Structure 1
């Protein structure tokens, strides 16, 4: 464990880096760059504006900005006042947005969309402090809460997840060890999600450059890796899949030899996709992690380990894992599938919710709702969320297994598998597929070679929109609810 005396406030680390090498490039985004000095000075100016709007230590500052340089200035400005940055998607529907903001009551909203009004203090999108605002350093204040991220969770009800950690940097902590000075990290995901948020800021805190995409584009990722000699990158499996599906003459035309560390997280990576990337960039480069925004704990696995334990998401890091029977509550032995429970190292809670009740605890153990099992060596293998499991003819069927088989077809871009009520079967398997034109029988045959007969979908529904969100997650409960009024009864034959 790293002691508290090793910790340095984020703002102090970044100010020190700016003083040591002010013209070093800190950020690259949308064809523009920002030096360490510019980030430090612009955030000090904006912090003074925040202060004039009433922001104080311990307050929440909602950041409603797209990926870009302004997003980082806004976040660092909050930390400089001891406040907590709370980024949300800049494109939220009004109802969902209000469901987050009403219980949160932030002291300030930064990036209010054009035409929107708020009873809360706000700054419009594109705002810049006037030239008379000082860029001088501010008195050092440490935010007691590092971040507050929004999540819909399995229920679909928006909530904020507030970290119990202050905004301080532990140079020898498990996260910090993944970053190296003078390196260059690619962050292709939306910064209001946990992994991109952490990857971008931890890159900057390590003295590295963060290359941030305003929107994910598979070929643009490869171009940026080549141009900036990126040595580490963070993806969700959907991104890895879209890059892997680029034509070979495009995909293989880019030089990725600078890569030393690629991490996939956010959802279990299908085995075929992980193997593809291991064969492409090397097992020493590929890694996978499992965890949560609540920081209850998690796992980590290298590509070398994965080849010995294919399909695993790794062993616990700074936490413990147990598998419990969801019905009896009994702890299960290795190899038996049940509900995954985690317990973080140390006794203190790692989070609190705004807008929702805390998860029920089993003597300090908490579940994220995922099913899985441990092997004899302590490696975790994930199934699905407990609420997404399909019960068909008395058998438990895991949608992720069917989705992985569907998405191994070269013309399938994404998929979601749900269970719909059936008078005879209990639930029938319904596959929703986003794909290029594909023959129905060809797809069924593709699955028949990979799945037991009872796991084959009763029906296929083809759509022309992505089925996973920017974080790589599919909201099966919402897809199921949309189809319940008109899809009850018997399905078509398999």
Structure 2
């Protein structure tokens, strides 16, 4: 049955046991009835602040039950939610809000100076919790992207705010699934999969902040069936002591998806060996939904390193610099086209798509297809390092470096080099008690069997902060530009040079 997203909490409140939990974060739980009543109160409070059907509402809240009360309240207003990191710096927030022009901002920082806002700790006292009846929002979500480049954009999803309660949920999610959300809800994938579980009558167990062992404990405690990780999270779980990692009952897990960032092949092999290839799945695609590839662990073992084949709803091409399709095995830029035509799944606010005259669109990634049609990613064009005429892909170097037992995380950027144009610079976050000098001095030998010599980092920088957020995202452009500026100004940073690698073969 097709129902508005606004009616989802009431739909299941009327059909599930009164004590059935819809959402929980820590000890804080919401039954379906509590979610329905809380969202109704918030919706009336938002309407009192001027929110009307067709408006946008920006949500700047951390992972919490209040987040879900707020998202459903927005749909109950007939409006479209946009989820933002509540910690966005003032400048970035201002740039997004200028594009979005929301009727209301819920949460966020005080210095965002939003013209119409409610604080994060807002409680809708005094408002009725009875059902509402408003028009359905034309766009069910409007997520942001591109803030790391200084040019934010808003991606309006063309699906309306309705759901078919009889349809199979996305990505193999069981109806009524117990789902764990370890990622921040201001990113597209956590937002989609968490709400999709609720649309299908499931239970969402959310983490306020990712913690590797707590993730395993919650999977066991709530008999979690479906979870979506980013590779950073999987790396942190795998880094737990073996006795800890194997000390929890994960037999309830049916599907472990990963997406949003490149997966080091060695790490994927570890997870496949640990949980079995049938349970490990990967998705590659954009928030824009022009196209997506999916691959199971079973397929991956036969096509190691692939992100899968294009789905049935769109097409995929690999196009070279001459504008022509390349042959299987050759590298080019990845282009998608939905079966329903260009622009059928989304449109931007604040940007224009990278679209050819024939309608095919690129997300800026490069890759190749094998003879069986499986896609293999290279890197983003903007991130590729050109050293002495050779293309070096940061993701490949990062995957090799993070296999080192003392490396917690790694980001690779290209820095200016007078001889080769660019050189490979690795920024490392090390494990506690690791000796930085030993790690750097031994890295050449460690990488010898994994990377061609010319791809080895030529300098290392040790940092004590997390390089990637809980969604696996990294501001590579910002990191690169900061370090290039420091070098130009002869400003010191914790740079540990080593002998330059050989020229490209």
Task: Name the residue aligned to 1:423.
Answer: 418
Task: From the superposition, tell whether residues 157 and 175 of structure 1 become closer, same or farther in structure 2 (CA, over 3 Å).
Answer: farther
Distance in 2, matches of 1:175 and 1:155, equals 34
Residue 349 of structure 1, CA deviation: 2.6
Kindly tell me the number of residue pairs found equivalent between the two proteins: 486
1:80 aligns with 2:87: no
Task: Name the residue aligned to 2:149.
Answer: 155
Distance in 2, matches of 1:372 and 1:119, equals 41
1:186 aligns with 2:180: yes
Match for residue 234 of structure 2 among 240, 246, 250? 240
Distance in 2, matches of 1:156 and 1:139, equals 39
1:353 aligns with 2:340: no
Residue 246 of structure 1, CA deviation: 0.6
**Range with greater deviation from structure 2 (481-490 or 54-63):** 481-490
- Return 5+ residue gaps in structure 1 as ranges: 1-5
Contact 1:428/1:491, CA 8 A, preserved across alignment: no
Task: Name the residue aligned to 2:27.
Answer: 31
Task: Name the residue aligned to 2:500.
Answer: 493
Task: Name the residue aligned to 1:71.
Answer: 67
Task: Name the residue aligned to 2:407.
Answer: 412
Residue 378 of structure 1, CA deviation: 1.0
Task: Name the residue aligned to 1:460.
Answer: 460
Task: Name the residue aligned to 1:3.
Answer: none
Task: Name the residue aligned to 2:36.
Answer: 40
Contact 1:340/1:368, CA 8 A, preserved across alignment: yes
Contact 2:105/2:114, CA 8 A, preserved across alignment: no
* SS of aligned partner of 2:124: coil
Task: Name the residue aligned to 2:47.
Answer: 51
Contact 2:209/2:470, CA 8 A, preserved across alignment: no
Task: Name the residue aligned to 2:274.
Answer: 280
Distance in 2, matches of 1:261 and 1:86, equals 28
Task: Name the residue aligned to 1:365.
Answer: 360
1:470 aligns with 2:470: yes
Match for residue 375 of structure 1 among 370, 378, 390? 370
Deviations 1:66-109 (A, max 9, x none): 10000000000000111001110011111111111122110011
Residue 456 of structure 1, CA deviation: 1.1
**Range with greater deviation from structure 2 (25-34 or 340-349):** 340-349
Contact 2:93/2:112, CA 8 A, preserved across alignment: no
Task: Name the residue aligned to 2:388.
Answer: 393
1:271 aligns with 2:265: yes
Contact 1:27/1:212, CA 8 A, preserved across alignment: yes
TM-score, normalising length: structure 1: 0.94
Distance in 1, matches of 2:228 and 2:319, equals 31
1:69-468 maps to which residues of 2 (within 5 A)?
69-113=65-109, 115-116=110-111, 118-130=113-125, 132-152=126-146, 155-170=149-164, 175-176=169-170, 178-317=172-311, 318-325=313-320, 327-347=321-341, 348-436=343-431, 437-438=434-435, 439=438, 440-468=440-468
* SS of aligned partner of 1:428: strand
Task: From the superposition, tell whether residues 157 and 27 of structure 1 become closer, same or farther in structure 2 (CA, over 3 Å).
Answer: same
Residue 178 of structure 1, CA deviation: 2.3
Task: From the superposition, tell whether residues 486 and 90 of structure 1 become closer, same or farther in structure 2 (CA, over 3 Å).
Answer: closer
Residue 15 of structure 1, CA deviation: 2.1
Distance in 1, matches of 2:181 and 2:168, equals 19
Residue 176 of structure 1, CA deviation: 3.1
